[in-house]
């Protein structure tokens, strides 16, 4: 058996077997590689052949041939390096190491090509998927467009049907109202038109109910005369006891007393019937005037305005405006449409001024949103001579009609309405925190501008004369008065009638108006100028002389309510409270009233 060489001798033979000449010849025999896209990776592995692996000194290092190529004897080629005892690593065979690295590079290049092929396949699939999705999206858009078209057509058809139903119902209600007025005319009275030489005159003719009440009153008057005669006879009999018995005298006197009491009860009943008849007659007259105004209106055909508002019935008319109840076909709600009409005979300048006035009212009112203020929804132009604003509709009457019906209100009821008015005015007089609206002076507060909704709650309306205050400080918020003569005189304070000097006004104007309204609710009349015309108030300087307010003895009201009214009707506006100060009055904030 031959002696096995020691590892040290083997390493020496290995070193002596690989001479620089052989290494150079091997390097020359290795074909040169052309630069590739992975040249940097190849150079990295080529450089790694000179690195010394830091393997464990006690274990040999085996580098497999990743190309799985066999040597000439069919055995797998491996390169083994053995560490020296001192921790030094014996170098691997350069040729085999380089070949192994080449194989690894080829594998990496093959993997990169496979990944490129996969990416191209994914890209192609993505293109196909994008095309499919685009086609599906286009189809969905077409279907959505068709659905929108169908929806629009359906909505238009529905609106046409709804418009027809609304108009038909309005015409039916108008016909029924006219028939009812005609029937009530015989009972309550009617307006009779008579022809004179050159003109038509209208005359009121009472109905049979008035004549019946007049006959009842005449009968009661005759009864009083008869009873008085019987009483005189009984007194005469009592003065001559020898001519009649005491029983007869007592019976006669007691009978007269009893019949007089019955007559007084009949008179009370008659008075109540007369008040009810007068109220019914007043409502009948208002309805007749409203129907006559509706028949004379250019919108009597109940057209659809702004392609959404179908007019139903006239609510009121005044000056150059009409207020119609209408139905909103888009929002599906009843609304009030106020139509401002320009006179075709006006000059262009006057028309322009009127249009600016309406636009100004819209700018003031559009951002106001409060439960105690009528909301403004829309504004649009009907034609060259008409502009419309769309408002929240209030199904109830206004405070003016209520006071005409009841004349005065119990203090508790009047205070409830007062608090609702103050709530709305507190909101109006202060700028909003979000800057949506500035402080506002209403300037035309009066019972006719206090409406009641279907729940009976009060709402403030009509901002035609309102003014905007820029200052955020209420105590300093004022502006110069430039509209002397405008407004309703009974409800304006003295400073609004000063003409010989520049006057600045604030929301204390509205405080005065609130005091007048509250006084009227309690006592059934205005504190200043009641029964006078506006011209008479102006010529007599009634408001300029309104230095103090007086209260009638009846009805009896609380002293706190009188103090509140006195504060509101303070002559000097600098001493008059502001809206905010008024809302802090004990009469307002007390919950034990």
pLDDT in tens, 279-328: 898 889 889 999 999 999 999 999 999 999 999 999 988 778 899 999 99
Average pLDDT over residues 439-456: 92
**Predicted local distance difference test score (pLDDT) of residue 480:** 60
| Three-class DSSP category at 70 | strand
* In the predicted structure, residue 40 carries a pLDDT above the cut 80: no
- Judging by beta carbons within 10 Å of its beta carbon (0-12, 13-18, 19+), is residue 194 exposed, middle or buried? exposed
- Tokens 């049979």 found at: 208
Q: What is the pLDDT of residue 593?
A: 66
Joined together, the tokens standing for residue 259 give 């019949």
pLDDT at 46: 52
Give 534-554 pLDDT, tens digit per residue: 899 999 999 999 999 999 999
Task: Name the β-bridge partners of 305.
Answer: 309
Amino acid 482: pLDDT: 56
Assess whether pLDDT exceeds 80 at residue 138.
yes
Query: What is d(CA 514, CA 512) in angstroms, rounded to the nearest whole number?
Result: 5
pLDDT computed for residue 90 by the predictor? 54
Long-range contacts of 479-485 (CB under 8 A, 24+ apart): 479/441, 479/504, 479/505, 479/506, 480/504, 480/505, 481/505, 483/443
Element (H, E) at 142: helix 94-188
- Give the model's pLDDT for residue 29: 41
Whole-structure pTM value:
0.68
Mean pLDDT score, 331-346: 89
Q: Is residue 86 pLDDT above 70, yes or no?
A: no
Which pair of tokens denotes residue 23? Answer: 């290494």
DSSP 154-222: HHHHHHHHHHHHHHHHHHHHHHHHHHHHHHHHHHHEEEEEEE-SSSEEEEEEE-HHHHHHHHHHHHHHH
- Res 3 pLDDT > 50: no
Q: Of all residues in the chain, what percent carry a pLDDT higher than 90?
A: 47
| Angle of CA points 167, 380, 464, to nearest 5° | 105
Question: Do 253 and 292 form a contact (C-beta atoms < 8 A)?
Answer: no
Q: Give the least confident one: 6-10, 341-345, 473-477.
A: 6-10
Q: Return the closest-CA partner of residue 516 out of 567, 590, 466, 559.
A: 567
Please check the confidence at residue 16 and state whether its pLDDT lies above 50: no
Above 60 in pLDDT, residue 78?
no
Mean pLDDT of 504-523: 94
Facing residues of 423 across strands? none
**Between 94 and 49, whose confidence is greater?**
94
Q: Which residues are catalytic?
A: 444
Say if residue 362's pLDDT is above 60: yes
């Amino acid at each position: 058996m031959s002696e096995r060489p020691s590892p040290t001798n083997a390493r020496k033979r290995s070193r002596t077997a690989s001479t620089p000449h052989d290494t150079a010849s091997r390097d020359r025999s290795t074909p040169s590689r052309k630069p590739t896209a992975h040249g940097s990776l190849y150079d990295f592995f080529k450089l790694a052949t000179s690195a010394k692996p830091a393997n464990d000194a006690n274990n040999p290092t085996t580098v497999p041939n990743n190309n799985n190529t066999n040597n000439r004897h069919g055995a797998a080629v491996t390169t083994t390096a053995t560490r020296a005892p001192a921790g030094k690593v014996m170098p691997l065979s350069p040729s085999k190491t380089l070949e192994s690295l080449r194989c690894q590079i080829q594998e990496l290049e093959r993997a990169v090509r496979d990944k490129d092929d996969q990416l191209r396949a994914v890209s192609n699939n993505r293109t196909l998927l994008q095309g499919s999705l685009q086609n599906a999206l286009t189809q969905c858009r077409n279907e959505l467009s068709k659905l929108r078209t169908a929806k629009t057509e359906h909505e238009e058809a529905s609106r046409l049907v709804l418009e027809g139903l609304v108009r038909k119902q309005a015409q039916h209600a108008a016909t029924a109202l006219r028939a009812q007025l005609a029937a009530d005319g015989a009972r309550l009275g009617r307006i009779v038109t008579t022809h004179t030489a050159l003109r038509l005159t209208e005359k009121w003719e009472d109905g049979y109910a008035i004549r019946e009440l007049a006959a009842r009153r005449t009968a009661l008057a005759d009864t009083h005369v008869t009873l008085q005669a019987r009483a005189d006879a009984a007194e005469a009999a009592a003065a001559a006891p020898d001519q009649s018995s005491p029983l007869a005298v007592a019976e006669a006197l007691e009978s007269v007393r009893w019949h007089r009491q019955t007559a007084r009860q009949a008179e009370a009943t008659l008075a109540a019937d007369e008040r009810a008849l007068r109220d019914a007659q007043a409502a009948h007259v208002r309805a007749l005037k409203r129907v006559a105004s509706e028949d004379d209106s250019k919108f009597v055909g109940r057209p659809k305005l702004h392609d959404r508002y179908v007019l139903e019935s006239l609510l009121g008319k005044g000056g150059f405006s009409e207020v119609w109840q209408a139905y909103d076909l888009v929002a599906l709600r009843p609304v009030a449409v106020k139509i401002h009409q320009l006179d075709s005979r006006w000059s262009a300048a006057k028309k322009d001024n009127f249009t600016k006035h309406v636009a100004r009212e819209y700018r003031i009112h559009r951002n106001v949103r409060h439960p105690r203020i009528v909301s403004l929804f829309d504004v649009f132009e009907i034609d060259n001579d008409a502009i419309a604003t769309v408002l929240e509709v209030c199904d109830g009457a206004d405070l003016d009609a209520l006071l005409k019906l009841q004349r005065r209100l119990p203090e508790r009821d009047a205070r409830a309405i007062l608090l609702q008015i103050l709530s709305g005015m507190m909101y109006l007089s202060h700028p909003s925190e979000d800057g949506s609206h500035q402080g506002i002076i209403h300037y035309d507060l009066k019972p006719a501008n206090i409406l009641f909704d279907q729940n009976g709650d009060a709402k403030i309306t009509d901002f035609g004369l309102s003014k905007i205050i820029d200052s955020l400080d209420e105590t300093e918020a004022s502006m110069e008065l430039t509209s002397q003569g405008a407004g309703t005189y009974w409800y304006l304070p003295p400073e609004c009638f000063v003409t010989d000097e520049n006057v600045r006004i604030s929301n204390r104007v509205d405080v005065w108006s609130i005091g007048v309204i509250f006084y009227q609710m309690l006592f059934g009349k205005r504190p200043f100028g009641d029964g006078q015309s506006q011209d008479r108030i102006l010529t007599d300087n009634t408001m300029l002389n309104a230095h103090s307010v007086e209260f009638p003895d009846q009805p009896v009201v609380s002293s706190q309510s009188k103090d509140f009214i006195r504060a509101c009707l303070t002559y000097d506006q600098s001493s008059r409270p502001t809206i905010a100060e008024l809302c802090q009055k004990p009469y307002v904030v007390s919950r034990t009233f």
